[in-house]
Amino acid sequence: MRVSAVVGVVVVVLVSGCAGTQAPSVDLQKEEQAIRALDAAWNTAVAKKELDALVGFYAPDGATMWPDAPASRGPAAIRAAWKELLNTPGLAANIVPDRIRVAQAGDLAVDEGHVDLEMDSPQGRARETVKYVVNWIKVGGAWKVAYDMYNSNAPSAPPPPAKGK
């Protein structure tokens, strides 16, 4: 009889302990909308060339992984990468999220989409659409960019001719 009572108490304690550790319910649609709002704010920051706002989207250990450049890790390197990009003559960009997937725990998300770019070039106004993937993480309850990657949909340019040929 004592063994049954002890086992019963242990089961009640274990079940009570497990019930207290369940993750709170996350409204995934609300989290997706929050990221879409950040994408819209990102568009505004690019249009206004607000360097501080752009750097503020990233986690302290975030990184850009843009084409034809090494990864930029941390605020100083991200600031330098954005400063260079914003100095592109006539730059205009429109970020369009095509699909945002938020993890069940609500602390990670993948934002996949495209960016319509325009810029001035020696040949005139250039237009290009690039694809991107941004990984978002929650830092102190706020969404921040962990990784920001994009690449072109256009074929690579041929290499320049070898010297002397």
What Cα–Cα distance (Å) separates residue 13 from each residue in 1, 6, 153?
Answer: 19, 11, 58
Which amino acid does the sequence have at 129? T
**E strand or H helix at 122:** none
DSSP 46-109: HHTT-HHHHHHTEEEEEEEE-TTS--EESHHHHHHHHHHHHTSTT-EEEEEEEEEEE-TTSSEE
pLDDT digits (tens, 9 = 90+) for 35-89: 999 999 999 999 999 999 999 999 999 999 999 899 999 999 999 999 999 999 9
Report whether 62 contacts 81 (CB < 8 A). no
Q: What pLDDT band is residue 3 in, cutting at 50, 70 and 90?
A: very low
pLDDT band at 22 (very low <50, low <70, confident <90, very high): low
Assess whether pLDDT exceeds 70 at residue 18: no
Q: Please write the tens of the pLDDT for every residue from 6-15.
A: 434 434 444 4
- Quickly name the fold that domain 25-152 has: Nuclear Transport Factor 2; Chain: A, (3.10.450)
More confident residue, 18 or 43: 43
* pLDDT value for 10: 39
For residue 105, name the pLDDT band (cuts at 50, 70, 90): very high
So what's the pLDDT on residue 157?
Answer: 73
pTM of the model: 0.80
Segment 117-121 shows an average pLDDT of: 94
**pLDDT, tens digit, for every residue of 141-163?**
999 999 999 998 887 777 778 88
The ranges assigned to domains in the chain are: 25-152
Query: At 27, is the pLDDT very low, low, confident or very high (cuts 50, 70, 90)?
Result: very high
